[in-house]
Structure 1
Amino acid sequence: MLDEESGGREAGAAIDMLEQHFEAHGWTHERIADEEIVANFQGSWTQYELRAIWRDEDDVLQFLALPDVRVAADKRAAIYEAIGLINEQLWIGHFELWSSSGMIVFRHAALLDGRDEGVLTIEQAETLIEAAIDECERFYPVFQFVLWGDKSPQEAIAAALIETQGEA
């Protein structure tokens, strides 16, 4: 998937692969530009906006999942602490709190350099998407316990990550 004029990769190749994945799953999505796509996914806790942005100058595909969570100013310190504790447990990606909007965001990136001709494989696309959704779903209750249950970040993580055994 090379662009003959520049000798480099097509700007939208990685975005094309994500678009195919979104279409295959029947998720509503919109191509913002050759370098950006936005999709919506209904999780078990909330609606997520999934956003991917291709940065040609770095050969990086940045992937973001935005759960429908906004943090009021008086809760930001506790959420920052919770995010720090959560991020210690993550292997791929991290959570952030955007200071300008109070939105919680899960973000990670894929470096698609020359090793595989800069092409995003379907397996890589699935990993990017599934990792973001899985981590958002796993930690969404932590944010809710801090925001609405007035639990400390440590209490929220302990309550949200209880492992159940057996069947009900």
Structure 2
Amino acid sequence: MLDEAEDDRDAAAPIDMLERYFAAHGWSHQRDEDEIVAKVKGSWTEFELRAIWRADDGVLQFLAFPDVRVADDRRGAIYEAIGLINEQLWIGHFELWSSSGILLFRHAAMIDVEEAALSLEQAEVLVDTAIDECERFYPVFQFVLWGGKSPREAIAASMIETRGEA
């Protein structure tokens, strides 16, 4: 897991900290000056994680792309599902890029422009939130796209909480 050395826990430039975080997890990643992209294997699919640092605005935008593309004839149902899902989220939101049919989860962090630093804890929250929400709602999108369920039926079927252990 992550090295507990003091220098690795200190805040660093946002893209630098995310690069450390991805490397510590052994995730394949590529980096440019203000952007980093990683590939992560989830429970349901592989995710592309992308962070873009806008120093002028002090905003770190974080995107997670589950491997979901939506055909034109299913977009209405997916937009409805996204609306219902987003009502349940506290941080971030799902969206569908109209030009490509790509589904993604997006959220951002405001970072003090003077310090321009991201802590390890902040990096963990950004990454874990994106992955957790994609994992939690991936079945909803699959039920709508491939299972023939309405968005409400898909959410009801996917959000069943199990109790105990088998």
TM-score (norm 2): 0.91
Matched, 1:15 2:15: yes
Percent same amino acid at aligned positions?
73
| d(CA) in 2 for partners of 1:64, 1:102 | 15
Q: Name the aligned partner's letter for residue 20 of structure 1.
A: R
Aligned 8 A contact 2:55 2:116 in 1 = no
| d(CA) in 2 for partners of 1:92, 1:109 | 9
The aligned residue for residue 4 of structure 2 is none
The aligned residue for residue 29 of structure 2 is 29
Report the count of equivalent residues.
155
Aligned 8 A contact 2:55 2:113 in 1 = no
- Cα RMSD over matched residues? 1.1
Runs of 4 or more, structure 1, over 2 Å off, are: none
Aligned 8 A contact 2:57 2:113 in 1 = no
The aligned residue for residue 5 of structure 2 is none
The aligned residue for residue 137 of structure 1 is 135
Deviations 1:52-98 (A, max 9, x none): 00011211000000000000000000000000000000011000000
The higher relative CO (CA closer than 8 Å, separation ≥ 6) is in: 2
| d(CA) in 2 for partners of 1:68, 1:77 | 19
Deviations 1:134-155 (A, max 9, x none): 0000000000000000100000
Q: How does 1:46-61 map to 2 (within 5 A)?
A: 46-61=45-60
Aligned 8 A contact 2:34 2:53 in 1 = yes
Aligned 8 A contact 2:19 2:36 in 1 = yes
Residue 114 (structure 1) shift:
4.7
Aligned 8 A contact 2:35 2:53 in 1 = yes
Q: Name the aligned partner's letter for residue 38 of structure 1.
A: V
Q: Name the aligned partner's letter for residue 28 of structure 2.
A: T
Q: How does 1:1-168 map to 2 (within 5 A)?
A: 13-31=13-31, 33-114=32-113, 117-168=115-166
Residue 166 (structure 1) shift:
1.6
TM-score (norm 1): 0.90
Gaps of 5+ in 1: 1-11
Q: Name the aligned partner's letter for residue 42 of structure 2.
A: G
Aligned 8 A contact 2:34 2:52 in 1 = yes
Q: Secondary structure at the match of 1:150?
A: coil
| d(CA) in 2 for partners of 1:69, 1:138 | 14
| d(CA) in 2 for partners of 1:30, 1:165 | 40
